[in-house]
Each structure stands twice: as structure tokens, then as C-alpha cells.
Chain A
């Protein structure tokens, strides 16, 4: 059975203007999100993964604009939305978000009861005691004990992990179809991370959510995602199921990314790190953005942007190495180790 496409992004371009200069944050990204799936978007900081998902909710900073492409959701093109009124039909109600740092993403001067009820009253059309009851129910769902008492408390009375549960409760209280988790565990202790991830998985099933994770932690990806999209310099360079991307990656950037996993290092040897720095997105990028850092770069990589080459029906990568004319290159040896060793964490 072919899964339904719930959200479809085509050739999306986002530009930021910073003091007269233009930054090309998203450079023609296409992505289909399937209903009920769990997609992880990975990439180093600055690769545009956060900006990309913010466009789904109209949450770009004021100096950022969508300059091309479309985001189709429910028969509407979100990329064409201009007014706040239009966005309010989507934000929370259809797509909700969990932010990275639970220490700062709650209003310190409002009780968490208020902050959850605010979402419930907006999107579930419940008010007063009914909203409160629902809030208590949701708090229980996210694993907060004694919810009635906790409702009246302020964020500072909660630990980091508990606050993230509250943030998740707020997102879930909107009853969204899609839940975007922007680095949901980055700011948390390792022990808490696993709890939060398993909670998110539970809630996904319970509330029939489609989830999008943004992360740079490949351990998180392996734990929660069905599919993985690898972003580099404002572009998805490789996308496929978890197994495909981890066990038979095709893009040199994905190779480099996986090689830098500490788990793949050999004791006594230096850990692998990707040479160089990400490209300056203020400048127009020609060809493959990763070429200057890519030991396997072809001359054509400097001239022409590679198209997507289909590896399997679910697996695509943007690299000239997949062109039949290209020389055959084997992925670095360490990638093979992944298959044997699996992931240490999660």
C-alpha cells in the first residue's frame, strides 16, 4: 500500500537578508512527507534544517522569505501564505513543534497549567474546567505524576526533562497532524534523552502523529526514524530509509558524516572529522556545495549541480558519483563497520 503524502515540498528556496547581503539558506529542496511516518532530518549546524521546517509553520525570522517553490498541505500552498490569519489555521492546529531547549521555551511567569490550557482552548474548543481536565489528562500522558498539583506550578519548579515533557504536552494539546521536534533532546542529559524519545514514540502512536525530527545526533535518528534526510548547505543531499542511509550511503557527505561517529573510531587512532568548514551561504554556490571538502570530488562537481539519482524507490542521492559515467568509488571502509557494530547509544 502506497502511503499518503501529507505534506509535499517542491523546490523550496529561502533567502535571508542580513545587512544588505543575501543568504541562501534553503536552495531548492523537495521532500514528500508520508502520513504516519517518522522522518529525521540530519545535518551539521547551519545546514538549514531548522529553517527548512520553520517554513512549514510560517515561523521564519522577519528577515527571511520564501523566494520560490511550494509547500503543499491539505490542498493549500503554505509557501503562499502571507497573513497571520492564514497561518493561525495551521500553527498548532495542524503542525506543532517541540523546541530544543526546555529551559527557555516556557514562559517563566505563567503556570504550566495556563500554558497547556492556552493551546487546548485555541485548538480543541474546550474552555474552563473542561480544558483543565484535558490538560491534566495530557500531562498524565506525557508522564508527569500528580498532574493536578503540577498544573499550578511554574516552569522553574520542574527539572529539564520534566519541562521538555511539558513542552511536548503543549504540542500534543494542540492535537496536530504533524509534530516537528527540533533537536528535542540536545539540551538534556543522556539518561533523560532516551526517556523523552520513547515518550515521543508512544505519543506518535497514541495520537496518530506524523513526526519530523531535526537532529545532528545520529543515535537519535537510528532510535526513532523510519526515514532519514541528510541536509548540507541548505539542500537535502541524500534521503532514504534508515537502513539505506546508514548501511549503504551513497553521498560522500553522508560517508563523512557517518565516519565521524565516535563509535566507528578505532581505539588509539584519532577520530575522523570532516575537513574544512561549511560553505559561505552568502555567496552563490556553483555545482555541488560539498565539493571543496570532498576528497572524491569530480571536476563536474565544481560546475554543475548534481540531480537526484535514484538508488532504490525509497533512496535518492544528489551526487555525480552515481552517474554511470563516473568512476566507481567505494565508500570508506569504516562505513562497513556500522552494519556489524550497530549504534552504541540508543
Chain B
């Protein structure tokens, strides 16, 4: 269970108007939620607060009952390596690691090396259809393939929560659909929870719920007429 309650974030002094406040969300295992909103409303900032990469100015974030607001930097880093997966718009696959090594990286971070890490990474690559590219290098892959590697990397260590920021933003609609299917299917199959920030209504519609972020909080997206 991932729970956010009354989360508040402001930039600048305490007198400054909050970027958002009163953000609340409950997410169950196997559930995916899409967050939409106008540019500049703070969608990415909200993701960063959830990941402990930016401090929140109020409210609470709990993962499986553990309070995360107030955790120090190192503790949050250790939590991220165990319980979080990330998918970025620009893929951010490390160019000096092979495809297999990129996928195995989260396992390395958990001190799992060798055959088991390789086996899991290969299995993930098989799931995303890139088993034959395991020994290759990121520079040899297309954008769609790179994002599939990123999805494999996000899921390989079976995180509780996967945060994806515009995962299809750099892809054409055909590839976007395929990549999104892989991501959501992976999250549901592993019993993880997914939060998807996107501008794409098509992408958002694949989630179990669509929420809209505004300065006043997260609200269910009204059905589009």
C-alpha cells in the first residue's frame, strides 16, 4: 500500500504560495494510476517528493505503513534501491554498461551479483523482447528499445513502486503503445504499484485511474466529453 496524505510543496520562503498542497493518494498493490496536469503544475516535483529526491513541506508519505517524510537522504537512497523503479522520458540508460549490465544494475545495488543477477536480468530482457540484445551496447538500440531496457531495469528487482515520468514522451504512437503495455503488464504481474505522469490522454487511459494535479491537490479526472 502506498499512501500520500495532505502533501504540500512550496518553493522559496514559507510565505510563498505553495506549488501544491493537500495532495492525497492511496494505491493498492497491482494498481496503476496516471497523473495528468498542466505544464508547471508540479507533476514531476510530486514524483520527486514521492521518491525522496525533493523534500516535502508538509503531509505524509507511507509505503506499506512506513512513514517516509523525514527520512534522511541516505535512508531514502537505500529505500529507493530496494523498493522503487524509475522510467524516464529520456531513458537514461548508462552508455558504458552493456544492455544486460544496465538491467542488472539495480540487482548490483542490492548486492546481488553473478549468476542470479544475470538470470533475473536476462529473464527481464526476455519479457521486454530484447533477450538477443543482452550483450549489445545502448548505442546500438533504437529509442523504443532503449525504453524497453529502461522498463526491464525498473522491474528487475521487483520494486514495490514504479515511478514513470512521460515514459512514452520520446516515442511515436505505435511504439508508445507497446512500451506502455509492457510497463503496465509488468507492474500488475509483479503486484507492484505504478504512478505514471503523462500529458498523453491515450497513455493515461491505460491506467486503472486517472488523476489531475492542481495547486489544491489530486482529483479524479473528469470524464472527457
Q: Do A and B come from one complex?
A: no
**Chain B residues packing against A (C-beta within 8 Å):** none
